[in-house]
A and B are shown apart, each in its own frame.
Chain A
Amino acid sequence: MEESPLHPFELHNFVPINIGGLDISINKAVLTMWVVVALVAALMVMAGSARRLVPGKLQSLAEMLVDFIRGIILDTMGEGGMKFFPLVATLFLFILFCNLVGLIPGSYTVTSQIIVTAVFAFSVYGLSLVMGFALHGAKFLGILVPPGTPAWLLPLMIPIELISQLARPISLAVRLFANMTAGHVILGVLFGLTVSGGLLIGWLPFVFTIAMNGLELGIAFIQAYIFTVLTCVYLGDAFHLHGHDEHAH
């Protein structure tokens, strides 16, 4: 039987809940997110409970992850950024595990829904705006004017900078969503070929399916990593306004 490669992205309601026209049914995505949250929590709690000086397997995995996230923050925001560690670590681990859980055949990839990635991206960007205005007041609007801009260029530069600021959350959301969706569509198409090809030729796309799954494993890490790095960069931009080399030419 032929199956659409987009079939895995359909949401099926398990427990339909409808309150005043607001659809908050428990569907595949919600269930997967709960599983991911449980997995991350279980990993971190179990890894953290031993607290041995010479770490066991689980503890060294957790230490590696924490050290990795710490490295990202120190690289992009410096020492002062460590107060965002809980936020950044939560985002990184949640996105990473969403991507990884989605690679298990038959499961669901939450990050292939643009609404999920958009919520992450816009809340991060919203936080950076709130923090920027709280720290710098009206001076934060200076982020729209790169230093060293001649006055006659201002009417042109301000709209351009405004657009590039507004593009930040959108590129953040679209990047994660598009990469995860595209990867899983390719996997779906290849596996569809395997099923319809039969034994004689079907092994060929099956080999490619396995190879693509390996590549997707790398993409899962890279996308989680990029999302985290850009989160740090945007928060850092609000943190020290023009205090870094971003606008230097």
Chain B
Amino acid sequence: MPPPGDPLYAGLGQAVRIGTELLAALIVGGGLGWAVDGYILDSGPWGLVVGLILGAVAGIRNAYRTAQQWQKSSDTPGKDQRR
């Protein structure tokens, strides 16, 4: 069993998190937009377009926020708040 506090594993864990964070927001944004197009408004491609853009914004915002927390927790040693 690798030691929990091993910096290599902590780093790998962070790397694995960011990618899916971006992807999931895109899927949700695009999916919501597509659903609005198809089932609610019948608004052509515009729901999908707006949804994808909002999803991209949300994904980047999530990734940025997560990275910011790591920055913060590495600035203040002893107060370890990995998120």
Residues of B within 8 A of A229 (CB): 13, 82-83
Closest B residue, CB atoms, query A69: B4
A167 and B59 within 8 A (CB): yes
In the A-B complex, the 3 residue pairs with the smallest Cβ-Cβ separation, listed nearest first, are A171-B24, A167-B24, A167-B25
Q: Is the interface of B mostly helix, strand, loop or mixed?
A: helix
| Residue from the set A61, A71, A75, A163 with the largest chain B CB neighbour count within 10 Å | A163
Contact (Cβ within 8 A) A166 B28: yes
Interface digits, B38-61 against A, CB 8 Å rule (1 contact, 0 not)?
000000000000000011011101
* Closest CB in chain A relative to B33 CB, distance in Å: 10
Q: Enumerate chain A residues within 8 angstroms of B83, measured Cβ to Cβ.
A: 76, 229, 233, 246
Q: Please give, as numbers and ranges, the residues of chain B lying within 8 Å of A175 by CB-CB distance.
A: 16-17, 20
Contacts of B69 in A (CB 8 A): 245-246
Flag if B4 contacts A71 (CB, 8 Å): yes
In the bound complex, CA of A222 to CA of B12 (Å): 8
B27–A167 CB distance below 8 A: yes
B58 contacts A246, C-beta separation under 8 Å: no
Q: How far is the CA of A218 from the CA of B13 in the complex (A)?
A: 10
Chain B residues with a Cβ closer than 8 Å to the other chain, count: 31
Residues on B close to A: CB < 8 A? 1-2, 4, 9, 12-13, 16-17, 20-21, 23-25, 27-29, 32, 54-55, 57-59, 61-62, 65, 69, 72, 80-83
In the assembled complex, the Cα of A130 lies from the Cα of B9 at a distance in Å of 33
What residues on A are CB-neighbors of B23 within 8 Å? 171, 174
Residue A133 interfacial (CB < 8 Å): no
Can you pick out 7 interface pairs between chain A and chain B where the beta carbons lie within 8 Å of each other?
A: A159-B54, A164-B59, A167-B24, A167-B27, A171-B24, A218-B9, A225-B9
